Amino acid sequence: EDEEEKELRQRFRFMAPPVSGLRELRRRRRELRSRMELLIMETQAEVCRALAELDPGASFAVDSWERKEGGGGISCVLQDGEVFEKAGVNVSVVSGLLSEEAARQMRSRGKSLKAKDGKLPFCAMGVSSVIHPKNPHVPTMHFNYRYFEIEEADGTKQWWFGGGTDLTPTYLNEEDAVHFHKTLKEACDKHDLKLYPKYKKWCDDYFYIKHRGERRGIGGIFFDDMDSPSKEEVFQFVKSCAKAVVPCYIPIVKKHCHDSFTPEEKLWQQLRRGRYVEFNLVYDRGTKFGLLTPGSRIESILMSLPLTARWEYMHTPPESSKEAEILEVLRNPKDWVH
């Protein structure tokens, strides 16, 4: 790499060289695709550094992979630390042709896609992360921000952004819930006051485990297929959301990572993680899309699953216990910021 490239990499302190190569990203730096790739790389590095600071004994395994159909990614995973049982932050930048199955899934979301000889060239990129802490008083957190572009038969390009950040506590702490939601609301409010209430509700509706009648966690924000008012405005909004990840979550980890906990509390965390797995494998669109994309990397897709979890037959917590309290909020989402 030349001097300019080296200087760039040092400035950004990425976890690994970007999939498209820094020189290529510099050359196309005015294009939104390049700016988005730089943003997801920056976000990955920011989050990994913040997590590593809290868990100094552990380190991230950094794994760059290539997809023979086009593109690749960088998976950063920290396992078996003092603070984090498993924390993964993934970047993927892939391109190629959509499989029929993946295209069908998108059409079912109301996308009218005109394929040329059954082929749809696409480009997708995103950063996604799931953090499973050891201590049951530290919540699990997930975020994902992504960009999608499809070229139709007549050459027109359809594009959209999607993403969100949400929190899954084992035990409810109102103060943490308020801090988390407030930080996300501030990021949304910079762009439009209507966004937070809309995306908060979308998040509550999306992370719903239908067969259990409960939400996966206490929500946050979630949006998909966002393609207006303009490419630039949506990109700036996504950037604000990505920049809010560290401030909305890291203070909560700092506050609770040394809390004492009982074996019973650890058991409840394992059961709640079982629910997390159920949602991800049964309902999550990102997981489903990944599993349907030819050449996708299964290890990176299933990185969201915890290291350990439990499924007990007919487990019900005692009434008016701390365990029952969180279930109440998962069944009836609350407004945390008003």
pLDDT in tens, 237-256: 999 999 999 999 999 999 99
Contact between 297 and 238 (Cβ < 8 Å): no
Mean per-residue pLDDT over the chain, rounded? 92
The pTM assigned to this predicted structure is 0.93
Higher pLDDT, 216 or 110: 216
pLDDT band for 313, please (50, 70, 90 cuts): very high
Active site members: 142
pLDDT over 70 at 1, yes or no: no
Q: What is the pLDDT of residues 145-203, one digit of tens each?
A: 999 999 888 888 889 999 999 999 999 999 999 999 999 999 999 999 999 999 999 99
Which position has the higher pLDDT, 299 or 268?
268
Among residues 82, 87, 130, the alpha carbon closest in space to that of 257 is found at 82
> Does residue 21 have a pLDDT over 70?
yes
For residues 12-38, average pLDDT: 91
Distance (Å, rounded) from C-alpha 136 to C-alpha 96?
41
Give the integer Cα–Cα distance in Å for 17 and 30.
19
Domains of the chain: 13-331 (3.40.1500.10)
DSSP 304: G
DSSP per-residue string spanning 61-83? EEEEEE-TTSEEEEEEEEES-SS
Q: Burial of 267 by CB count in 10 Å (0-12 exposed, 13-18 middle, 19+ buried)?
A: middle
Q: Return d(Cα 132, Cα 99) in angstroms, integer.
A: 32
Q: Is 7 a residue whose pLDDT tops 80?
A: no
DSSP character string of 229-284: S-HHHHHHHHHHHHHTHHHHHHHHHHHHTT----HHHHHHHHHHHHHHHHHHHHT-
pLDDT at 109 over 90: no
3-state SS class at 150: strand
Given a cut of 70, is residue 2 above it in pLDDT? no
Confidence of residue 26 (pLDDT cuts 50, 70, 90): confident
